Amino acid sequence: MCGIFGCHNHPDVHKFKPTALKLAKQIRHRGPDWSGNVISNNTILCHERLSIVGVESGAQPLTNADESIVLAVNGEIYNHRLVRKHLNHKYHFKTHSDCEVIIPLYMEHGLEAPAHLDGMFSFILYDKTKDRTIAARDPIGITTLYQGWSWKEPGAVYFASELKCLHPVCDKIIPFPPGHVYDSLTGETTRYFKPKWWDPTNVPSTPVDLKALRAALEKSVRKRLMAEVPFGVLLSGGLDSSLVASIAQRENLRLQKEAADKEKLNQEPDADAVDRGEGLVGIDDDGSLSTSTYFPQLQSFSIGLPGSPDNKAALEVAKFLGTKHHVMTFTIEDGLNALSDVIYHLETYDVTTIRASTPMFLLSRKIKAMGVKMVLSGEGSDEIFGGYLYFHAAPDKEAFHDETVRRVKNLHYADCLRANKSTSAWGLEARVPFLDKEFLALAMDIDPADKMITKEKMEKYILRKAFDTSDEPDNQPYLPENILWRQKEQFSDGVGYGWIDALKDNAELHVSDAMMANPKAEWGTDVPDTKEGYWYRLMFDELFPPRCGSTVQRWTPTWSQQTDPSGRAIATHEHKYDNAV
């Protein structure tokens, strides 16, 4: 992940520049490879770069030929080769960066440019000739972006990848809505992402096509192997991360077989070929991955307390797949010591997010120290397929579908935020194949009756069945059968049940009954209902002013009276499973 910061229509932008650079420096952990900034008229754009694609030539902010358009981007554009090939007008690209295609798309399509992108992204683009700034965020909010305003500069508008850049200068801050684009000419933010499933009242009736579901996820993983640097997979041993790891390993082995002519792969393309997208890492028209980096052995990573269910399952998967697996164990003290840093980087006080992010935060540091800069992860599957155990209580398919839509729309407050910020805290990038636009379109259009949990069908049954090859002639299994059909464990549970228990115990030491009965007035109606939540809110308040609380949404399960969001607290959790893994 990279980091971006920008301000449009500042009354004295040159005087503001030293402050802007200090604010941008607050997110240098996201992009430790290089820093850049451009001032044009009354607008400044700053960029902190993590180089994954176009490593040698992709420094930002990017500009067009006459430098009338300036662009700062955080993210990856997986279809950049296709965009280059199918532009309506010839455009000479200055770099090999996947992100540069946003400039000619804006020149041809204006505010509709983000709709033509396939990837994860947040960007700020300044058009000097029109004195116009537009900002946009990817459809689901995989990348983070915030927008702010200040009473001191009433005409100015600010943008940044993280909250910590904005609260020193802004009185009002909001999470920039995913799938939307902002236009300074009108001051309006409009939605460009308009899939069929966005309206939850449009309950789909399409029966599941298991082969299509498998093919769509395989294509999504393939896209996300677009990289010129070492990468790996986060492997918890659960269904979602294990499927991603299995597909990535198959693709890595395929790339090895196709790389016989290494000299041809290493040839430098001519300038016109680059403009056509040839010779660049990316996706072709047929959906195949071209000129990707591959490795003799794919690396996988897991974390847990000693003896954790996840580490044990992850080792089994890694051995089955043949990945080079790295197991990290952490102690409860390690996790407790990291809590303040986790909340600083995550910028939330949501209980579920903090519980799950702390092990991911610790693991990301180890991964980056090993020289890996990008990892694949399994976020999004539980929201799409109703994988959380509380979905057992869905009263009917309409309610089930409504909840999946709500969960996907709110991922930017929870699992996307966790995956993005836990990794980017150490200059590591996480990619999430389940949240691919094309895969979402297919998976969210499946009749929810096929997704519902019954006595005969466990959670995520259709996803499991899509990768069950036991009835196929060649029977080349993607995963061991016991992993393919392993019951759902939320990440904060799977790293070891002692982790959540320790958090609750420590919260008891920091928060009294009297404190619970007399919460801070500035919290308004957003009052934590557990001592653990109260404790996190206190730590959040030490790091951020009260107004930042409006950017946080707390995760709670539907159809349940419980206050603890742990999957283990759901009545349907089978405790006999604990001894079986």
Binding-site annotation: residue ranges: 98, 234, 303, 377-378
Select which of 2, 46, 165, 548 is catalytic.
Answer: 2
Pairwise CA distance, residues 241 & 566, whole Å: 19
201 within domain boundaries: no
Quick one: pLDDT at residue 580?
35
- Judged by DSSP in three states, 328 sits in strand
Tell me which residue range forms the domain holding 307: 210-263+283-575
* Backbone angles phi and psi of 205, in degrees to 5: -130, 10
CATH code for the domain in which residue 57 is found: 3.60.20.10
- H-helix or E-strand containing 159? strand 153-160
Question: What gap in Å lies between CA 440 and CA 162, rounded to an integer?
Answer: 26
Query: What contacts 162, CB < 8 A, 6 or more positions away?
Result: 3, 26, 27, 30, 144, 146, 347, 421
In this structure, are 14 and 160 located in the same domain? yes
Q: What is the pLDDT of residue 579?
A: 38
**Do 182 and 244 lie in a common domain?**
no
Q: Of 325, 160, 125, which is closest to residue 234 (Cα–Cα)?
A: 325
Of 194, 224, 240, the one marking the end of a domain is 194
pTM of full prediction above 0.85: yes
Binding site listing for L-glutamine: 98
Nearest to 449 by CA among 500, 404, 408: 404
Task: Indicate whether 179 and 253 sit together in one domain.
Answer: no
Those residues with Cβ within 8 angstroms of residue 438's Cβ, 6 or more apart along the chain or in another chain: 118, 216, 219, 220
Indicate whether 316 and 386 sit together in one domain: yes
Last residue of a domain, one of 194, 226, 251: 194
Q: CA 431, CA 229: separation in Å to the nearest integer?
A: 14
Does residue 163 sit in the same domain as residue 235?
A: no
Is 276 within a domain? no
Regarding whether 85 and 227 lie in a shared domain, the answer is: no
Predicted pLDDT at 106: 98
**What is the widest separation between alpha-carbon atoms in the chain?**
71
Question: Phi/psi zone of residue 9: left (φ > 0), alpha (ψ -120 to 50 degrees), beta?
Answer: left
Mode of pairing for the β-strands spanning 3-8 and 153-160: antiparallel
Report yes or no on 272 lying in a domain.
no
Q: Which residues contact 563 (CB under 8 A, 6 or more apart)?
A: 529, 530
Give yes or no: residues 401 and 322 share one domain.
yes
- Count of alpha carbons within 13 angstroms of residue 58, beta-carbon side: 24
Residue type, 172: K
46 among known catalytic residues: no
Q: CB count, 10 Å around CB of 187?
A: 9
CATH code, domain carrying 245 = 3.40.50.620
Residues 168 and 311 in one domain: no
- Asked if residue 546 and residue 430 are part of one domain, the reply reads yes
**Burial (CB count <10 Å: 0-12, 13-18, 19+), residue 485:** middle
pLDDT given at position 267? 54
Task: Report how many domains make up the chain.
Answer: 2
Q: Are residues 147 and 218 in the same domain?
A: no
**Interatomic CA distance for residues 483 and 468, integer angstroms:** 11
- 350 is a domain residue: yes
246 and 179 fall within a common domain: no
Question: Going residue by residue through the chain (581 aa), what tens digit of pLDDT does each one get?
Answer: 799 999 999 999 999 999 999 999 999 999 999 999 999 999 999 999 888 776 766 689 999 999 999 999 999 999 999 999 999 999 999 998 999 999 999 999 999 999 999 999 999 999 999 999 999 999 999 999 999 999 999 999 999 999 999 999 999 999 999 999 999 999 999 999 999 999 999 999 999 999 999 999 999 999 999 888 889 999 999 999 999 999 999 998 888 877 644 555 555 555 565 565 555 666 666 666 654 556 678 999 999 999 888 899 999 999 999 999 999 999 999 999 999 999 999 999 999 999 999 999 999 999 999 999 999 999 999 999 999 989 999 999 999 999 999 999 999 999 999 999 999 999 999 999 999 999 999 999 999 999 999 999 999 999 999 999 999 988 899 999 999 998 866 554 567 679 999 999 999 999 999 999 999 999 999 999 999 999 999 999 999 999 999 999 998 889 877 666 655 555 555 543 343 33
Q: Which residue has the tokens 């100015």?
A: 156
Q: Could you tell me which of 579, 576, 574 has the C-alpha nearest to residue 312? A: 579
Cα–Cα distance between 245 and 233 in angstroms, integer? 6
pLDDT of residue 475: 85
Residues contributing to the annotated binding site for ATP: 234, 303, 377-378
